[in-house]
Chain A
């Protein structure tokens, strides 16, 4: 059964179908765009380091960076070529990425959508790992890790997470380390593949000039149901407290970079409740630190921050944090000004109405590109969030929600600052 959801105001459709293999397939038709897009994704990212499948004697513990390594290696084909060779016959723009919570294989194309979809479904469904092709990848990923070592924006963010979390694996880099990836072998890759690349743990998302029926026919051909016992993933018990309040690294930058984080302890739920929390937090951040806020303008006029300043919120079922990023000669002063202002901040109902408009505008902006809509929906769907619910939830948000959220999220004891200082 294909379910159809229509949003009148957006004039957009969403089709959903649970395929007999257990794979959930989503389709957002976008006929006017020249590009079409597909993403085949699994709910498996860098955070899963310990798991047990029903029937296994022991818990499997894996080195850091396996999900990302697996993503690279899945492109390898038994005939010695890789999936890119197949895409080279269609002209598609293919890629993949690994996050904390999922791994996504995707392509965009202006022609031959279904031929490309066959390539995607086929290579993701057929792993081919050998010790030899693993060794080659260790060199490439080693350089990827080194590249991020030099990237101050990446470092300031990950150092913040390391300071914020005591044990939770979000502390660790998605790609692992040169040492941890040296421990990866083909047995580990197959074990993780067989456990997490199961249609029931995956979604297929397509967007563009696409028909659901054709997509399902190809699923029949390539995606088969796999019997696998229940999988339990183990995460360390993360305390509410932060690991340390400040972390500093020196890199070759022109001026210090900072990332201020607030650990969110109001977690443990997904779906509409999580969507609402997400939206309330965005509205709140716009009110207190958006470009129209008194605090932003005060910091800017004092020369403490510049155009690179920004805020964001990351909310997942089992963790969450908000962060405030930028460049400043004096990041500690930025932090103390913000904390001081928060202590006596009175939220204003007019500013709430205005921030809601901004939130609504950014929601509409998301629909400008097939990539924008697809990337957002893929990560949301794994959290049981459907952004077609946005208008409904948006209507329910009250000023009171925002006031409450302000009090719970922005606590001094949950706050960390990560600084990148210039090398002398």
Chain B
């Protein structure tokens, strides 16, 4: 899937991913804002309020029924964090007309709704705003329901205190009450509407038609904030942080954070991908084979890297009494990587597995869009084929060099209360 980018005007781009492999089309708007503690909560609230209604369909029920009439078109709004940036995401997914008897026009109606919902607001419904304030509180608090994700989110919050990455995606509960309907509207009108927006469309469409629809949509908008915010990547670790919290749970959740100092921009990035694959990505990895298969300590143990912040996280669910055993074994695997204990089998498995997952990205509209958005933010454009070419050139020495630069930063353990 090749990416075609059109500049609509300063701060507005249209990006076309042409493919006929999907039965639906995805149209997504990514409004870019700097990721700051001051703004994160109000942006999260805005994303929830936006999807409730629009000037043409004044109630949620009317809007939902208009979408249902379009063969169950779906609007998704949310927040995405990427380095020092956050995005207010509004995504429309709708079936391609050619699979509907009579080929009714769907895409034009979607653009009408998108424009109305994102740009044509004169005010927000006071009632909806107060409902969504409550919903946002629930959303933030319910992050603790999934202990695995929660342990990682808490790890990142503690490890990256004072950095953009440490800011919670949906903001903070104690900041919600003070937001008024007027403030929200002012923020929308004076800040969000004037911010950079990247529009993506993935599917099989008449691109000239879409181009004119997007041009028309943004003809009266002048974007003031046209660029992304650069992240200064932290590499050093002054002192390893150790944090333990207690909850009433059956299984302990161990989350360990590291600094890689390597991001998408760096030439070492392909070697970091290989490093992560060997250490802890999937069933061929050292973590899976040692912590799970050899020692039977867990059901899952895996690592992942944040390609924009230069960090790496390892997660595992273990018996609380096995904490030390599991922790030591995980760190032993990290040490083995530094010492170059990498077998040919591991190297080959990692390379094939990594190439397989890069190729697989293009089978998902969301996955492909996210891939390219990350590349935009990092300022280094590289398509999937070229990335595969770079992976192919990575050597064991490159991986060991990466391994030696990786530093333990924070250990977070969520343990059950001993009753």
- Where the two chains meet, the residues of A that have a C-beta atom closer than 8 Å to any C-beta of B are 9-10, 30, 32-35, 82, 84-85, 87-94, 108-111, 136-137, 139-141, 143-144, 146-147, 149-153, 251-255, 257, 286, 290-294, 297, 300-301, 303, 306-308, 327, 354-355, 357-362, 364-365, 367-370, 423
Cross-chain contact of B247 among A82, A252, A370 (Cβ < 8 A): A252
- Provide 9 A-B residue pairs closer than 8 Å at the C-beta atoms, listed in order of the A residue: A143-B298, A150-B251, A252-B147, A290-B68, A297-B60, A303-B134, A306-B135, A361-B71, A370-B363
A149, B95: Cβ atoms closer than 8 Å: no
What are the residues of chain A within 8 A of B300 when measuring CB–CB?
A: 147
Cross-chain contact of A147 among B251, B356, B364 (Cβ < 8 A): B251
A9, B296: Cβ atoms closer than 8 Å: no
Q: How far is the CB of B40 from chain A (nearest CB, A)?
A: 19
Cross-chain contact of B23 among A35, A251, A257, A367 (Cβ < 8 A): A367
B250, A150: Cβ atoms closer than 8 Å: yes
The CA-CA distance from A370 to B21 in the complex, in Å, is 10
The CA-CA distance from A358 to B59 in the complex, in Å, is 19
The CA-CA distance from A255 to B148 in the complex, in Å, is 18
Q: How far is the CB of B246 from chain A (nearest CB, A)?
A: 10
Interface size of B in residues (CB-CB distance below 8 Å): 70
Within 351-369 of B, Cβ neighbours of A (below 8 Å) are at: 351-353, 355-357, 359-360, 362-365
The CA-CA distance from A153 to B93 in the complex, in Å, is 26
Question: Given the interface contacts A294-B61, A364-B23, does A139 sit within 8 Å of B134 by beta carbon?
Answer: no
Cross-chain contact of B99 among A9, A34, A93 (Cβ < 8 A): A9
Q: Could you mark each residue 4-32 of chain B with 1 if its beta carbon is under 8 Å from any beta carbon of chain A, else 0?
A: 00000000000000011111100000000
What are the residues of chain A within 8 A of B147 when measuring CB–CB?
A: 150-151, 252
Cross-chain contact of B282 among A93, A255, A286 (Cβ < 8 A): A93
B145, A254: Cβ atoms closer than 8 Å: yes
Q: Could you mark each residue 233-253 of chain B with 1 if its beta carbon is under 8 Å from any beta carbon of chain A, else 0?
A: 000000000000001111100
Number of A-B residue pairs at CB separation under 8 A: 187
11 more CB-based (< 8 A) A-B contacts, given A91-B352, A307-B139: A34-B363, A91-B355, A110-B355, A140-B298, A143-B319, A146-B250, A252-B147, A254-B142, A254-B145, A357-B71, A361-B95
What are the residues of chain A within 8 A of B138 when measuring CB–CB?
A: 254-255, 306, 327
Q: How far is the CB of A364 from chain B (nearest CB, A)?
A: 4
Cross-chain contact of B135 among A137, A307, A359 (Cβ < 8 A): A307
Question: Given the interface contacts A84-B283, A93-B282, does A291 sit within 8 Å of B64 by beta carbon?
Answer: yes
Cross-chain contact of B296 among A136, A358, A369 (Cβ < 8 A): A136
A91, B356: Cβ atoms closer than 8 Å: yes
B71, A143: Cβ atoms closer than 8 Å: no
- Of A85, A108, A144, A361, most B-chain CB atoms within 10 Å: A361
- Where the two chains meet, the residues of B that have a C-beta atom closer than 8 Å to any C-beta of A are 19-24, 59-61, 64-65, 67-73, 93-95, 99-101, 127, 131, 134-135, 138-139, 141-142, 144-148, 247-251, 282-284, 292-293, 296-300, 317-319, 345, 348-349, 351-353, 355-357, 359-360, 362-365
B319, A146: Cβ atoms closer than 8 Å: yes
Question: Given the interface contacts A33-B21, A254-B141, A303-B134, does A93 sit within 8 Å of B61 by beta carbon?
Answer: no
Q: How far is the CB of A131 from chain B (nearest CB, A)?
A: 15
B24, A368: Cβ atoms closer than 8 Å: yes
What are the residues of chain B within 8 A of A306 when measuring CB–CB?
A: 135, 138-139
Cross-chain contact of B349 among A88, A109, A300 (Cβ < 8 A): A88
The CA-CA distance from A418 to B258 in the complex, in Å, is 41
The CA-CA distance from A257 to B296 in the complex, in Å, is 32
Question: Given the interface contacts A34-B363, A291-B64, does A354 sit within 8 Å of B250 by beta carbon?
Answer: no
The CA-CA distance from A139 to B21 in the complex, in Å, is 43
Question: Given the interface contacts A33-B21, A34-B360, A254-B145, does A292 sit within 8 Å of B349 by beta carbon?
Answer: no
The CA-CA distance from A361 to B22 in the complex, in Å, is 13
What are the residues of chain B within 8 A of A252 when measuring CB–CB?
A: 144, 147, 247-249
What are the residues of chain B within 8 A of A303 when measuring CB–CB?
A: 131, 134
